[in-house]
Structure 1
Amino acid sequence: MIYKNITRQQTVERTYRTIEWRQPVAVALFALLIAFARMPDRVIYGFLWGEDGKIFLKQAYDLGARSIITPYAQYLHVIPRLIALVFSKISFIDQAARPFMWMATIVLCATCAYLFTFARKTLPLPAAWVFGLAPILVPHSGEVWLTITNLQWVIAPALLVLLWDEFCSPAADVSRRSGDVTRGIAIVLMTLTGPFGLLFAPVVVAGLLFTRKIHRSRRAWLAIATYFIAVGTQLVTIAVSPAPNMAPGEAKHHLLDYLQFPWKGQFLRHLVLDFVMPVAWVDRLGQHWGAAAIVCFAAMILCVVGATKGNRLICAALAILAVGLWMIGVIRAATWSGDIVWYSAGGRYFYIPFVLLAWAILLSTSTSAYSSIRILGAFLLGMVGLTSMSQFSAQIYMHPSASYQETTQTWQLAMPPSPDWYITVTPQQLGKSK
């Protein structure tokens, strides 16, 4: 009898372990299918974005390993530069479209799988699926997907969750898991890829203060210190690097000038209303869009307030962080001549705020004790899904191509977003298209 009980327990444990690894794999595969549905042209033919070639590929060939520590747009991009450097050692420059696209796709799918694994600890299974797939389901023009240039946007939600889970989660065994080398390396690499590790630092500090009573080992504090060293590295890089060029035709604005920026209207129209209502519907509202935006904003506030006591602060923090990142994006875009919207140029500045807002509503919907809040949250998430479906397909761009220029007697590799984004290459760097 004892033997049978042990055997039954081992069978249950094996089944549980099998389910544990199969579900994240299933999430990753679904993320791949959704990416293909939204961007079939990129998956089939490969994809290069302007900076993929003009910055990362070109500098990988010209600078070698030194390109990894070369700033672009004021900060470091370690992960894209590592991909470009490895590629420059093993293949020809005009054959980068498919490898770059697949590396970006793998990162996207891995991000979704990790987010699901995290959410599965506390959320119901359907909610965990939505949580994990949010980075590929939210309304977006496709600007950040399947390109190494914009990997920083795709990995940012995973970085935020990893930082919280590793350093700040009150329920986690921080002293044990903070010593995990793989997770530590991932945190450092992601922090050194784009500015989001720096932007998330106040959240980490607040989390550390909130969980200050948790005993942390020396290894845990070493991991935390390593993260803040990476944050400091990005901060110094930003401080010593020249500011990026202004948008064409735009005058330079000082930070105080943004006190006069129409924040209220831009917030209600483009961050709130455009998030939960298809653009075509908003256009039909005409001058009445403001009333609809206020109703949507009130509904989102109710979802945050109606969350359980333990999750209310988290929902509020996610919403506040979303608004803060959107405001930073508006200032970073440095354009007053036209609206910044999710479905056009500059849509990347809405990507992470939309993911965070979706998470806040989802967390409230799946855990609230009030049925009215759960219904309201489910309705809002359904509207967000409808908004995403209304412009589901990503924009199709030209394919990268190499051509010989008779006038200059050089080879040029052109890529999206326009033929103006090209790089001059040597015949030795070209493959079959030579």
Structure 2
Amino acid sequence: MYPGPAAMMRSLQRVDVGDVPVFFGTAFIFFIIMLFRINIYLAQPSFWAEDLPIFWFHAYRDPFYEPFLIPYSGYLNFAPRLIAALAEFFPYKVHPAFYVYASVLMSAWTAAVLSVSSGARAQGVIFGLLLALVPHSGEVWATPANLQWVMACALPVLALGPIPSSRFVRGNQLAFVLATALTGPFMIVSAPLWVYRAARAFRTRDGFGALLVAIALCGALVQLHFIANQVVTVSSAGESHLVRTFIQILLRWIEPVSREIGAWSIAFCALMILGLFYGHQRVFRAGFIFLIFAIFTSVLYKFKNTYDAFIGLNGDRYFYIPAVLAAFCLSSLIFDDVNRWVKAIAAMLLVRMLFLAAEIPILPREPVSFARDWRGYAHLIGRQDILVTFPPQWQFLIKAK
């Protein structure tokens, strides 16, 4: 017989006393992995994402107030704007490097928070390191503009995980949930998980959990306000290709486990379903799978008219969170109280994911037009007015200070 939910929560609430060394050790290992995986970005840092010049320009104009209240893509972007603000303390010539390395450090913080938040030390460390090990072309790791995709991976673990026993972990969880709530729209998508946490906190009189829920849901409401009030330019939608888009997204979703629909992908889907009904950590897996399909549905709706948007490695960031959460599901089965054959199949699928990750190339990306000669601009910034133009049709006047 399997213990009930109450026994599961008691077992998960035992957080080891060595939280601090595990936290910093996981962050360090994550950073070392990044040095090897995205060395092409770290060796030649640049402003390659079209969002970064906007964040940079706003920080140049006013580092520490107005930019944090300016939505981009319809929502607030706290993490990249914080990096842009801190970069203003450094010479302009090192800003591209500062942005890239700071984004890796923020991702390492996400890994570190995961390492001390899942209840079991080994499982938490693996969760954190999987952020750097799943199949991906590098799009989310090398720029602050995509930090929201990395940080969102921790939300199900924080929403459904145990009550942390140490102030160190609690402080990090509070700061992380606040930062993530104000960075991107994923707190809105994960809101049902936080409602579940609220019900659990009420039932168990968990004051810390109630505080986490309050921060998460308030952040979700703030982002929802900005999204609901954004100015949208209506254009011709064109012909809908819902079925083709669905198939394309489905193929990309199973790609981290299997190159095509076959035995591996069938086993993968079977384990996802089985994990919802067996084991102590089935609530965890339910949260992971819920967020996977929430993102799946959002992407399907957004690209229903452009089914060819995901050919090759295009739009790779949209499949990063599903890949990570699928890896979390497999990892949780390995550490759970389930049949040993289920553990073995989950382990084989997870190892297969890691081998496939090694086959996916980290794609180099060219810097945006005006940043190609960043050093040439850097010594002029602040000394004279500079008019810069970059795609799609943006122009900024960098005024002399």
Q: TM-score range by the shorter chain?
A: 0.7 to 0.9
2:293 to 323, 327, 345: 323
Is the Cα–Cα contact under 8 Å of residues 156 and 288 in structure 2 kept in the other structure?
A: no
Quick one: distance in 1 between partners of 2:198 and 2:128?
Answer: 25
Tell me which residue corresponds to 2:5. Answer: none
Structure 1 position 153 matched with structure 2 position 149: yes
Q: CA deviation at 1:189?
A: 2.2
Tell me which residue corresponds to 2:366. Answer: 398
Tell me which residue corresponds to 1:432. Answer: none
Quick one: distance in 1 between partners of 2:366 and 2:225?
Answer: 37
Q: CA deviation at 1:321?
A: 1.9
Structure 1 position 353 matched with structure 2 position 338: no
Tell me which residue corresponds to 1:252. Answer: 237
Which whole-Å deviations, capped at 9, do the CAs of 1:192-240 have from their partners, x for residues lacking one?
11001111111111232245421144x7645533432222111110000
Which residue type is aligned with residue 275 of structure 1? P
Tell me which residue corresponds to 2:117. Answer: 118
The gaps in structure 1 that reach 5 residues or longer are 1-15, 283-288, 430-434
Q: CA deviation at 1:304?
A: 1.7
2:346 to 377, 389, 392: 377
Which residue type is aligned with residue 152 of structure 1? Q
Q: CA deviation at 1:96?
A: 1.1
3-state SS of 2:256 partner: helix
Is the Cα–Cα contact under 8 Å of residues 54 and 421 in structure 1 kept in the other structure?
A: no
Structure 1 position 235 matched with structure 2 position 224: yes
Which residue type is aligned with residue 73 of structure 1? S
The 10-residue stretch of structure 1 (289-298 or 366-375) with the greater mean CA deviation from structure 2: 289-298
C-alpha RMSD of the superposition: 3.4
Is the Cα–Cα contact under 8 Å of residues 333 and 346 in structure 1 kept in the other structure?
A: no
Which residue type is aligned with residue 75 of structure 1? Y
Tell me which residue corresponds to 1:336. Answer: 306
Quick one: distance in 2 between partners of 1:332 and 1:215?
Answer: 40
3-state SS of 1:83 partner: helix
Tell me which residue corresponds to 1:71. Answer: 71
2:243 to 261, 272, 276: 261
Tell me which residue corresponds to 1:304. Answer: 275
Sequence identity percentage: 23
Q: CA deviation at 1:387?
A: 1.4
Which residue type is aligned with residue 48 of structure 1? F
Tell me which residue corresponds to 2:9. Answer: none
Tell me which residue corresponds to 2:174. Answer: 184
Q: CA deviation at 1:27?
A: 1.9
The 10-residue stretch of structure 1 (66-75 or 40-49) with the greater mean CA deviation from structure 2: 40-49
Quick one: distance in 2 between partners of 1:106 and 1:178?
Answer: 18
Change (3 A) 1:211 1:183: closer
Change (3 A) 1:317 1:229: closer
The gaps in structure 2 that reach 5 residues or longer are 1-15, 378-383
3-state SS of 2:203 partner: coil
Quick one: distance in 2 between partners of 1:173 and 1:133?
Answer: 20
Q: CA deviation at 1:181?
A: 5.8
Quick one: distance in 1 between partners of 2:388 and 2:90?
Answer: 15
Is the Cα–Cα contact under 8 Å of residues 111 and 158 in structure 1 kept in the other structure?
A: yes
Change (3 A) 1:302 1:236: closer
Quick one: distance in 1 between partners of 2:394 and 2:41?
Answer: 19
Quick one: distance in 2 between partners of 1:189 and 1:384?
Answer: 30
Which residue type is aligned with residue 191 of structure 2? A
Quick one: distance in 2 between partners of 1:173 and 1:38?
Answer: 32
Is the Cα–Cα contact under 8 Å of residues 299 and 376 in structure 1 kept in the other structure?
A: no
Tell me which residue corresponds to 2:336. Answer: 367
Q: CA deviation at 1:334?
A: 5.5
3-state SS of 1:237 partner: helix
The 10-residue stretch of structure 1 (349-358 or 32-41) with the greater mean CA deviation from structure 2: 32-41
Change (3 A) 1:72 1:48: same
TM-score scaled by structure 1? 0.75
Q: CA deviation at 1:328?
A: 1.0
Q: CA deviation at 1:347?
A: 0.8
Which residue type is aligned with residue 397 of structure 1? R
Structure 1 position 194 matched with structure 2 position 184: yes
Quick one: distance in 2 between partners of 1:245 and 1:151?
Answer: 28
Q: CA deviation at 1:148?
A: 0.9
Tell me which residue corresponds to 1:270. Answer: 252
Is the Cα–Cα contact under 8 Å of residues 74 and 238 in structure 1 kept in the other structure?
A: yes
Tell me which residue corresponds to 2:131. Answer: 135
Quick one: distance in 2 between partners of 1:245 and 1:292?
Answer: 44
Question: Number of aligned pairs?
Answer: 374
Is the Cα–Cα contact under 8 Å of residues 303 and 373 in structure 1 kept in the other structure?
A: no
Structure 1 position 162 matched with structure 2 position 158: yes
Is the Cα–Cα contact under 8 Å of residues 75 and 194 in structure 1 kept in the other structure?
A: yes
Structure 1 position 86 matched with structure 2 position 86: yes
Q: CA deviation at 1:267?
A: 4.9
Q: CA deviation at 1:410?
A: 7.2
Is the Cα–Cα contact under 8 Å of residues 194 and 217 in structure 2 kept in the other structure?
A: no
